[in-house]
Protein backbone atom coordinates (compact mmCIF):
# COMPACT_ATOMS: atom_id res chain seq x y z
CA UNK A 1 0.00 0.00 0.00
CA UNK A 2 1.40 3.38 -1.03
CA UNK A 3 0.12 6.82 -0.15
CA UNK A 4 -0.76 8.25 -3.56
CA UNK A 5 0.17 11.81 -2.61
CA UNK A 6 3.65 11.16 -1.32
CA UNK A 7 4.71 7.78 -2.71
CA UNK A 8 5.83 6.57 0.74
CA UNK A 9 5.11 2.91 1.39
CA UNK A 10 3.25 1.84 4.51
CA UNK A 11 6.16 -0.44 5.42
CA UNK A 12 8.55 2.50 5.12
CA UNK A 13 6.44 4.61 7.45
CA UNK A 14 6.17 1.81 9.98
CA UNK A 15 9.94 1.32 9.93
CA UNK A 16 10.45 5.05 10.33
CA UNK A 17 8.22 5.42 13.33
CA UNK A 18 9.59 2.27 14.97
CA UNK A 19 13.15 3.48 14.55
CA UNK A 20 14.90 4.99 17.53
CA UNK A 21 18.13 6.17 15.96
CA UNK A 22 19.72 7.17 12.69
CA UNK A 23 22.98 5.83 11.39
CA UNK A 24 24.00 8.77 9.23
CA UNK A 25 27.30 8.72 7.39
CA UNK A 26 27.32 11.90 5.32
CA UNK A 27 29.45 12.01 2.22
CA UNK A 28 29.49 15.12 0.04
CA UNK A 29 28.56 14.49 -3.59
CA UNK A 30 26.30 17.38 -4.65
CA UNK A 31 24.49 20.33 -3.09
CA UNK A 32 21.79 18.38 -1.22
CA UNK A 33 23.12 14.83 -1.60
CA UNK A 34 25.67 14.69 1.21
CA UNK A 35 23.50 12.44 3.37
CA UNK A 36 23.47 9.65 0.84
CA UNK A 37 23.88 6.39 2.69
CA UNK A 38 22.24 7.88 5.79
CA UNK A 39 19.63 5.13 6.07
CA UNK A 40 15.94 5.03 5.32
CA UNK A 41 15.01 7.84 7.71
CA UNK A 42 16.22 11.21 8.93
CA UNK A 43 15.20 12.68 12.26
CA UNK A 44 15.37 16.14 13.85
CA UNK A 45 15.43 16.69 17.62
CA UNK A 46 15.43 20.24 19.00
CA UNK A 47 13.92 22.51 21.58
CA UNK A 48 13.63 26.26 21.66
CA UNK A 49 14.93 28.02 24.72
CA UNK A 50 13.00 31.09 23.51
CA UNK A 51 9.49 29.58 23.13
CA UNK A 52 9.75 26.38 25.19
CA UNK A 53 8.61 24.35 22.17
CA UNK A 54 10.10 20.94 21.33
CA UNK A 55 10.35 19.00 18.11
CA UNK A 56 11.33 15.35 17.69
CA UNK A 57 10.30 14.05 14.33
CA UNK A 58 11.20 11.99 11.35
CA UNK A 59 11.16 14.31 8.35
CA UNK A 60 12.57 12.10 5.57
CA UNK A 61 11.67 8.51 4.69
CA UNK A 62 12.95 6.34 1.86
CA UNK A 63 14.38 9.21 -0.16
CA UNK A 64 11.51 11.65 0.30
CA UNK A 65 10.90 14.60 2.57
CA UNK A 66 7.61 14.40 4.46
CA UNK A 67 5.75 17.63 3.62
CA UNK A 68 3.82 17.75 6.91
CA UNK A 69 7.05 17.30 8.89
CA UNK A 70 8.78 20.06 6.93
CA UNK A 71 5.79 22.34 7.62
CA UNK A 72 6.16 21.69 11.36
CA UNK A 73 9.92 22.27 11.19
CA UNK A 74 9.35 25.55 9.34
CA UNK A 75 6.92 26.70 12.03
CA UNK A 76 9.27 25.60 14.82
CA UNK A 77 12.20 27.52 13.28
CA UNK A 78 10.17 30.71 12.71
CA UNK A 79 11.38 34.13 13.83
CA UNK A 80 10.21 33.95 17.44
CA UNK A 81 10.44 37.71 17.85
CA UNK A 82 7.97 38.57 15.07
CA UNK A 83 6.20 35.26 14.45
CA UNK A 84 7.24 35.46 10.79
CA UNK A 85 7.54 32.13 8.98
CA UNK A 86 9.67 31.26 5.95
CA UNK A 87 10.27 27.75 4.56
CA UNK A 88 13.45 26.22 5.97
CA UNK A 89 15.82 24.86 3.34
CA UNK A 90 15.92 21.06 3.52
CA UNK A 91 19.70 21.13 3.10
CA UNK A 92 20.01 23.07 6.36
CA UNK A 93 17.80 20.57 8.17
CA UNK A 94 19.93 17.73 6.75
CA UNK A 95 23.17 19.34 7.95
CA UNK A 96 21.80 19.83 11.46
CA UNK A 97 20.41 16.25 11.57
CA UNK A 98 23.61 14.70 10.20
CA UNK A 99 25.75 16.63 12.68
CA UNK A 100 23.53 15.50 15.55
CA UNK A 101 23.84 11.88 14.43
CA UNK A 102 27.63 12.18 14.15
CA UNK A 103 27.79 13.49 17.72
CA UNK A 104 25.96 10.35 18.90
CA UNK A 105 23.82 12.09 21.53
CA UNK A 106 20.22 11.65 22.55
CA UNK A 107 19.98 15.20 23.90
CA UNK A 108 18.12 17.51 21.51
CA UNK A 109 19.78 20.62 20.15
CA UNK A 110 18.81 23.94 21.68
CA UNK A 111 17.76 26.17 18.79
CA UNK A 112 18.81 29.76 19.33
CA UNK A 113 17.99 31.12 15.89
CA UNK A 114 16.49 29.67 12.72
CA UNK A 115 14.71 31.95 10.26
CA UNK A 116 15.14 35.68 10.91
CA UNK A 117 12.90 38.37 9.49
CA UNK A 118 14.59 41.44 7.98
CA UNK A 119 13.44 43.46 11.04
CA UNK A 120 15.03 41.00 13.50
CA UNK A 121 18.24 40.78 11.50
CA UNK A 122 18.52 44.60 11.39
CA UNK A 123 17.92 44.85 15.15
CA UNK A 124 20.57 42.18 15.85
CA UNK A 125 23.05 43.98 13.57
CA UNK A 126 22.61 47.11 15.70
CA UNK A 127 23.10 45.31 19.02
CA UNK A 128 25.51 42.44 18.23
CA UNK A 129 28.80 41.91 16.47
CA UNK A 130 29.06 39.28 13.77
CA UNK A 131 25.52 39.52 12.33
CA UNK A 132 25.75 39.58 8.54
CA UNK A 133 23.70 42.12 6.58
CA UNK A 134 22.68 39.38 4.12
CA UNK A 135 22.59 36.55 6.64
CA UNK A 136 21.46 33.15 5.40
CA UNK A 137 19.04 33.20 8.35
CA UNK A 138 17.01 35.63 6.19
CA UNK A 139 16.59 32.88 3.57
CA UNK A 140 15.73 30.06 5.99
CA UNK A 141 19.13 28.55 5.28
CA UNK A 142 20.86 28.77 8.69
CA UNK A 143 20.52 27.67 12.31
CA UNK A 144 22.34 28.58 15.51
CA UNK A 145 22.44 25.70 18.01
CA UNK A 146 24.10 24.38 21.15
CA UNK A 147 24.21 21.19 23.22
CA UNK A 148 24.86 20.97 26.95
CA UNK A 149 26.63 17.61 26.58
CA UNK A 150 29.05 18.59 23.80
CA UNK A 151 31.46 21.47 23.46
CA UNK A 152 31.13 24.11 20.80
CA UNK A 153 34.32 22.72 19.27
CA UNK A 154 32.89 19.19 19.07
CA UNK A 155 29.68 20.40 17.43
CA UNK A 156 31.56 22.58 14.93
CA UNK A 157 34.00 19.78 14.07
CA UNK A 158 31.12 17.39 13.36
CA UNK A 159 29.38 20.01 11.19
CA UNK A 160 32.61 20.78 9.31
CA UNK A 161 33.12 17.07 8.60
CA UNK A 162 29.88 17.10 6.56
CA UNK A 163 31.56 19.50 4.08
CA UNK A 164 28.11 20.78 3.18
CA UNK A 165 27.92 24.45 4.19
CA UNK A 166 29.12 27.16 6.49
CA UNK A 167 30.06 26.53 10.11
CA UNK A 168 30.68 29.37 12.54
CA UNK A 169 31.99 29.09 16.10
CA UNK A 170 30.73 31.79 18.45
CA UNK A 171 32.66 31.17 21.65
CA UNK A 172 31.47 34.35 23.38
CA UNK A 173 27.86 33.15 23.15
CA UNK A 174 28.62 29.40 23.15
CA UNK A 175 26.80 28.39 19.97
CA UNK A 176 27.52 26.98 16.54
CA UNK A 177 26.09 28.42 13.33
CA UNK A 178 25.33 25.93 10.52
CA UNK A 179 24.11 26.88 7.06
CA UNK A 180 23.74 25.38 3.59
CA UNK A 181 25.72 28.10 1.84
CA UNK A 182 29.23 27.65 0.44
CA UNK A 183 31.56 25.41 2.43
CA UNK A 184 33.55 27.64 4.81
CA UNK A 185 34.22 28.04 8.52
CA UNK A 186 35.05 30.86 10.91
CA UNK A 187 35.44 31.69 14.58
CA UNK A 188 37.51 30.21 17.37
Identify the pLDDT of residue 125: 85
Q: Give tens-digit pLDDT for 143-175.
A: 999 999 999 999 999 999 999 999 999 998 999
**Mean residue pLDDT across the chain:** 83
Q: Render the chain in DSSP notation, one character per residue.
A: -B-TTT--BHHHHHHHHH----------SSTT-TTTTS-SEEEEEEEETTT--EEEEEEEETTEE-HHHHHHHHHHTS-TTT----PPPHHHHHHHHHHHHHHT--SPEEEEES---HHHHHHHHHH-TT--TT-GGGGT-EEEEE-SSS-HHHHHHHHHHT-SSEEEEETTTTEEEEESSSSEEEE-
Identify the pLDDT of residue 9: 52
Of residues 109 and 133, the one with the higher pLDDT is 109
Residue 4 lies in a domain: no
Residue 56 lies in a domain: yes
Residue 2 lies in a domain: no
Identify the pLDDT of residue 32: 40
Of residues 182 and 30, the one with the higher pLDDT is 182
Residue 143 lies in a domain: yes
Identify the pLDDT of residue 22: 32
Residue 128 lies in a domain: yes
Q: Give tens-digit pLDDT for 52-86.
A: 999 999 999 988 999 999 999 999 999 999 999 99
Residue 19 lies in a domain: yes
Q: What is the CATH classification number for the domain harbouring 95?
A: 3.30.1380
Nearest 5 degrees, angle CA 50-CA 52-CA 58?
110
Of residues 3 and 153, the one with the higher pLDDT is 153
Of residues 45 and 10, the one with the higher pLDDT is 45
- Binning pLDDT at 50, 70 and 90, where does residue 28 land? very low
Q: What is the mean pLDDT of residues 109-128?
A: 92
Identify the pLDDT of residue 14: 40
Residue 25 lies in a domain: yes
Amino acid sequence: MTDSTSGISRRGLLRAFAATSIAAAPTFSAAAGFLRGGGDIRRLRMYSGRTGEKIDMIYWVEGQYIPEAMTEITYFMRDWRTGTIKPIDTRTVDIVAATHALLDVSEPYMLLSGYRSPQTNAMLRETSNGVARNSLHLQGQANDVRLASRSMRQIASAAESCQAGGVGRYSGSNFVHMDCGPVRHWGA
